[in-house]
Every structure is written in structure tokens, then in C-alpha cells.
A and B are shown apart, each in its own frame.
Chain A
């Protein structure tokens, strides 16, 4: 027995059907102001966006038909805009249907319909979060979501130097870019060599900086050590100096002809200089050493904070039980430190995975290697930059961005599923 039948009227159904044209259902429900507003909004929506929807939806399907007249990339942009507008429109439409149905339902039950004044109060109370979120949300849609959608679509086109508007049209090629990266020798070799260096780089550099940071924090935290304040300040310094400055300074120091490392330090010990900038393996070593220098202070500061918050009672209790220093360290200090900074560790790994600055500013991703279109120290993100900015391989760069994002998101979701703050969140 459905509920509606128990009422003599069926306003809810009628209102719902009338609401196929937004506003009519509300008018039927005798909410004249609201109904008029909905009608006007609908008319305005079509009036303002008709051209955009028309061109955009046609454009995103065809990407243009006549060279010089149709600009494929503009059309793609209009297409995405049209899709975003359409999503908002559909949202409004569904809201309209739901509203008409609900108000009709309360008429069926002979409940009083809210007056204009009540509706206004309701709108303010329920709409307030939407209202104050909308500026940030809109900005986010246009500068973050929009570019992501654009890259997503670009990955399925053939946009590059040879297919670049206005002289040429861009076409949908679907999965060709993905297939190319794994099938064409040059792309496949470059991709796997860049990917493996990215992983090695992420793992080794991050592990070094984390290990050094924790180690130093623990030895500086010893009770009988003097001058803790000065030591801690100096240890924080590499973090305090902006990284791009330090990296450029290091690039000077590692310079093969005048840099301090070859000339002053190694020269002092009578060792002949190393080719830091021209041999991939040496550039890689230099990068890892530099990242350790740049990254350990953050871990050092975090660990110091954790160490200071560990209760002394734990150690006293352990002493009473006859634990040795090493046992105390292994069973109290280390587990507590690792537990507290674990979430930060994973962000450190993802940070280095995308650490464009150090790779690019140090040696531009170089030195060059024969047989591949990425430099010897290029990680995925700097390779994407190179493809975009120097060789205009836009669609391949977009494809690689998709692959990179999949990796980052997978890791990040796995991490957040595990963190407490996410599990405790009451998600309604």
C-alpha cells in the first residue's frame, strides 16, 4: 500500500510532473514568488548559456571541422565550460523537482505551506554554508578542477607541435597516447627509465632525510648535552632558507669549473674533481645529498617536538623494571616517535616524488642522455615540464600527468584511510 493513496489529493505527483518546466510545480503549490523565481532562473539560464552550450557541446565532440576557422583547443575549453554549466544546471533542476514534490506532499497531508517569510529564514539557515563556501568553491572549480578536466581530456587527443591550432585541427585519438607510451620503443624506454629513477630518488632521498632528522633529534635530546638552543637553531637553518635559494647556491658549489666542492674541498684533500653536472650518476648523488641537507630539519623539528612530549614517568618506570638504555630506546622512544610522525613521513615521500624544484633548478633535469627524450635526472614531473615547455608534446605530457596522478592518488588514499583523523571524521 503506497502512502500517497491514503490521501485524497495527489498534489505531490501533479507538482512533480508540472515541475518538468521548473517553476510551474511551485506555482501549482501556490508558492508564487518561488515559482516565478524558478521560471526566471530557467529562462535566464538558457538565454545566457545557450550559445556556450551549443558551441561547447558540439566542440567537445568534434573538436572543430574547418582549420583556421575552428580552433580545437578553444572548443575544448568551451566544451568543458559547457559541461560544468550543465552540471550546475542539472543540480538546480533536480532541486526543483525535489522541492515541488516535497511541498506537494505536505499539501497532501494538509500541513501548512511555509510562508514567504519562513521560506526566507529557511533559505538563510540552510543556504548559509553554501553561501559562504561559494567564493572558494568557484575559484577551486576554475583554477583547480577545470585544469584537471582539461588535462584529462587532452590525454585522449593528438595535440602536439604537428597538430596545433589554428593551422591544424586536433582530433580525438582515444587511447593511442597510452598505447604509444607502452608500445613505441623510445617512449617506453624513456618512461621506464624516468619512472625507475623517480622511485629510487623518492625512496633514497626521503629515507636519508628522515633517518638523519630522527637520529639528530635523538642525540640532541640527551639530557646532559650543553648548548641545545644554539644546536637546534643551526639545525633548523636549512629549512629556514628558501629551498630555491639553497638549490641554486648548491648548483654553484657543484659547478665543475669554479664550484667550491671540486676546487676547495676535494682539491684540499688532493682528490681530482668529479663531473657533478655532466655524468648522470654524479648528478644523482649530488641531488640526493642536497635533498638530505634540505629535508632533514623538518623531521628534526617534528621529532624534537615529539621527544619533548614523552612523559618521563615511562622512562622512570622502565628504570625501576631494570631496563637498559638500549631497551628504553627500542621499546619507548622509537615506537612513540615513529607512531607520531608516521603521517608526516608519507607526505615527505609524496613531496619528493613531485619535487620539481630541486631537479630543475640544480641541473635542468640534465645531463642529456642519448636515446631518450628526458634528461638523466628527470623525474616524472620535470619530464612533463620539459615535454610541455620545450618540445610542445602536449598530449603526451597530459597522458603522463594522468599516469602520475593515478600513482599519487593511490598512495594518498591508502594513507588517509589509515590515519585516525580521517576515520574519526563523522561523515554524516
Chain B
């Protein structure tokens, strides 16, 4: 029995070790590349001999690179998308969860179907419409598309959570004379903070990670978000500026990964609670 346990544990540790190598190698490689002197990777190694911060400095030099703009743009777009999404989604989810009105059933069905079609499926239309309305190459246009695309899925997620908050609470508040808005702001929303946080996280991450819509709508380099800018940096002259790209990648990956790991518990519990009730 003991021997069997020993074999089982050794095998497990072996698998874990292999996975560690597979997961960490690309990350170590890109971090190493970002400290390599020179622009290309020929002759580079994971632990560079003459490590340099030159590529990081170059990224922050706005005369040489738009990286700082991209970073600001991404933060701006993501934060505004998050704000608008949370406001609009909490309002729609609240009405679906708490009121019975004409068109409710059809509305829910519509949301369900809309959340299945990724909003970039209509990318031709988004592109043409943005051109017509002169919203192309503006962050406003981008934010509007993101917020609109976030509404159906997050409404369902949040409605699922609000349904679990007992209705007796708002009914007794109503008897005590509280109005619609008061019940919404002072009774239901405080109880819904966990799901608000999940919706906020989702609607922050999605625009941050989106490439396709941003690449369709944004035309000038200063307006790019990180995903588009970073791709541009690589695609323009692949390899020739790889080390600069590596530094840029590290500067995105590290803060996001730290943020993500600290919120990770939240993420998983939110997903299991709201999205998939059973």
C-alpha cells in the first residue's frame, strides 16, 4: 500500500513538474527577451549576458513609440466600458428580475439569443455604420459597441443573482413607503455587490483583451488600444523589433496577472453562482 502511494505521488509530482515547465517557459522566455540587448533575437538567451532596460525606456519615450498612448487608451476604454456596463446592466437586470411587464418574456428571449451571437459577427455592419456616423477612429464609438455587446450576457448573469435575493425584502420596504428608486439603491443593490463586482471585472477585461473590434474601428496609431498596437508592433516588421515588443508584453502581462490572481476566487464563484445555476 505504501509503495503504491509513493508511486502515485511521484507520478503526480512529475506531471506537475512538466506542466510547470510548459507554463513557465514561454513566460520566462519573453521576460528574458525583453532584457536582451539589440533589436532582434538572434543570439539571445533566456538569461541575457548584458541585460539592459533600454527597451523599456524606449517604450516610455513618446517620441519613439506610442506605447504610453496605447496603455492610456486601453485603460480609458476599459474603465469607461466597465462603468457604463455596470450602470446599464444593473438597471435592465433589476427590471427583468423584479417586475412583470408586457414584453418581459420576449425581452429575455431576445437577450438570450443576442448573447449567443458574438457582436463582432456583424463586423462588416459595425465598420460601415461607424464610417457613416463618423464614429470610426473614435474611442466613443468603440466604447458604445463594447457596452452594447456586454449588455445581454451580463444581464442574464446578474438577473440570475438578483433572483436569489428574497423578494420579501423589497415588498416590506414598499409597505414601509419606499419608492422604486429607493428600493433599488438602498435595498437590492447593496445585497448584489458580489455580482456587481463580477460584472465590473468582466466588462473591464473584455475590452482590454479585444482585438477584432478595435482593429476595425481604430485607424490612427495614437488611438490604438494595447491589443492593436502590440500586434502592429510585431506585424510591421516581424523580428526586427521583437525585443521592444517583449518589453511591451511584459508590462501588460505583469500588472494584469497580479490583478487577476488577486480577484481569481471572485471570478470562479461569480461564474458558478450567476451564469450556471444548475
Chain A contact residues, CB within 8 Å of chain B: 73-74, 77, 124, 126, 128-130, 132-133, 135-137, 139-140, 142-148, 150-151, 154, 216, 219-220, 222, 224-225, 231, 233-246, 248-253, 255, 257-258, 260, 293, 301-302, 305, 340, 343-344, 350, 354, 356-357, 360-361, 364, 381, 384-385, 388-389, 394, 397-398, 401, 404-405, 408-409, 412-413, 416, 419-422, 424-425, 427-428
Please tell me if the beta carbons of A133 and B211 are within 8 angstroms of each other in the complex.
no
Query: Which 4 pairs, one residue from A and one from B, show the smallest C-beta to C-beta distance?
Result: A420-B278, A143-B148, A147-B125, A147-B122
Docked pose: A253 CA to B100 CA in angstroms = 55
Please tell me if the beta carbons of B89 and A404 are within 8 angstroms of each other in the complex.
no
A181: min CB distance to chain B, Å: 16
For B120-132 the 0/1 string (1 means CB < 8 A from A) is 1111111111001
Contact of B100 among A73, A356, A388, A428 (CB under 8 A): A428
User: Can you list 14 A-B contacts with CB-CB less than 8 angstroms, sorted by A residue number?
Assistant: A77-B132, A137-B92, A142-B144, A143-B149, A144-B119, A154-B124, A219-B16, A220-B16, A237-B23, A241-B253, A242-B252, A248-B231, A388-B127, A389-B127
A304: min CB distance to chain B, Å: 8
Contact residues of B: prevailing secondary structure: helix
Please tell me if the beta carbons of B180 and A257 are within 8 angstroms of each other in the complex.
no
Contacts of A398 on B, CB cut-off 8 Å? Answer: 124-125
A415: min CB distance to chain B, Å: 9
Stretch at the interface among B58-66, B194-202, B266-274: B266-274
Known interface pairs A144-B148, A240-B257, A245-B253; 8 further A-B residue pairs with C-beta atoms within 8 A, sorted by A's residue number: A132-B94, A132-B184, A220-B16, A233-B261, A237-B23, A237-B27, A240-B256, A246-B253
Contacts of B271 on A, CB cut-off 8 Å? Answer: 302, 344
Q: Which of A135, A245, A257 gathers the greatest number of chain B CB atoms within 10 Å?
A: A245
Contact of B239 among A231, A255, A422 (CB under 8 A): A255
B29: min CB distance to chain A, Å: 5
Please tell me if the beta carbons of B126 and A147 are within 8 angstroms of each other in the complex.
yes
B52 at the interface (CB under 8 A from A): no
Contacts of B239 on A, CB cut-off 8 Å? Answer: 252, 255, 257-258
For B1-26 the 0/1 string (1 means CB < 8 A from A) is 00001001100110110011011101
B75 at the interface (CB under 8 A from A): no
B132: min CB distance to chain A, Å: 6
Q: Which of B160, B208, B268 gathers the greatest number of chain A CB atoms within 10 Å?
A: B268
Docked pose: A144 CA to B151 CA in angstroms = 10
B192 at the interface (CB under 8 A from A): no
When A and B form their complex, what is the total count of cross-chain residue pairs whose Cβ atoms lie within 8 Å?
A: 260
> Known contacts A252-B41, A258-B239, A420-B277: does B269 contact A216 (CB below 8 Å)?
no
Contacts of A145 on B, CB cut-off 8 Å? Answer: 114
A418: min CB distance to chain B, Å: 10
Docked pose: A251 CA to B94 CA in angstroms = 44
Chain B contact residues, CB within 8 Å of chain A: 5, 8-9, 12-13, 15-16, 19-20, 22-24, 26-27, 29-30, 33, 40-42, 88-89, 91-92, 94-95, 98-101, 104-105, 107-108, 112-114, 116-129, 132, 144-145, 147-149, 151-152, 155, 160, 180, 184, 208-209, 211-212, 216, 227, 230-231, 234-235, 238-239, 242, 245-246, 249, 252-253, 256-257, 260-261, 264, 267-269, 271-272, 275-278
Please tell me if the beta carbons of B180 and A385 are within 8 angstroms of each other in the complex.
no
Docked pose: A242 CA to B268 CA in angstroms = 17
> Known contacts A251-B234, A293-B23, A344-B276: does B123 contact A388 (CB below 8 Å)?
yes
Docked pose: A408 CA to B120 CA in angstroms = 13
Docked pose: A14 CA to B101 CA in angstroms = 28
Please tell me if the beta carbons of A235 and B19 are within 8 angstroms of each other in the complex.
yes
Contacts of A255 on B, CB cut-off 8 Å? Answer: 238-239
Please tell me if the beta carbons of A428 and B278 are within 8 angstroms of each other in the complex.
no
Contacts of A124 on B, CB cut-off 8 Å? Answer: 180
Docked pose: A130 CA to B96 CA in angstroms = 10
Docked pose: A412 CA to B235 CA in angstroms = 35
Please tell me if the beta carbons of B88 and A136 are within 8 angstroms of each other in the complex.
yes
Contact of B124 among A128, A357, A397 (CB under 8 A): A397
Contacts of A143 on B, CB cut-off 8 Å? Answer: 119, 126, 144-145, 147-149
Please tell me if the beta carbons of A133 and B92 are within 8 angstroms of each other in the complex.
yes
Contacts of A136 on B, CB cut-off 8 Å? Answer: 88-89, 91-92, 151, 155
Docked pose: A293 CA to B126 CA in angstroms = 32
Contacts of A237 on B, CB cut-off 8 Å? Answer: 23-24, 27, 257
Contacts of A405 on B, CB cut-off 8 Å? Answer: 117, 121
Contacts of A384 on B, CB cut-off 8 Å? Answer: 121, 123-124
Please tell me if the beta carbons of A421 and B12 are within 8 angstroms of each other in the complex.
no
Please tell me if the beta carbons of A245 and B105 are within 8 angstroms of each other in the complex.
no
> Known contacts A136-B92, A408-B116: does B121 contact A381 (CB below 8 Å)?
yes
B84: min CB distance to chain A, Å: 8
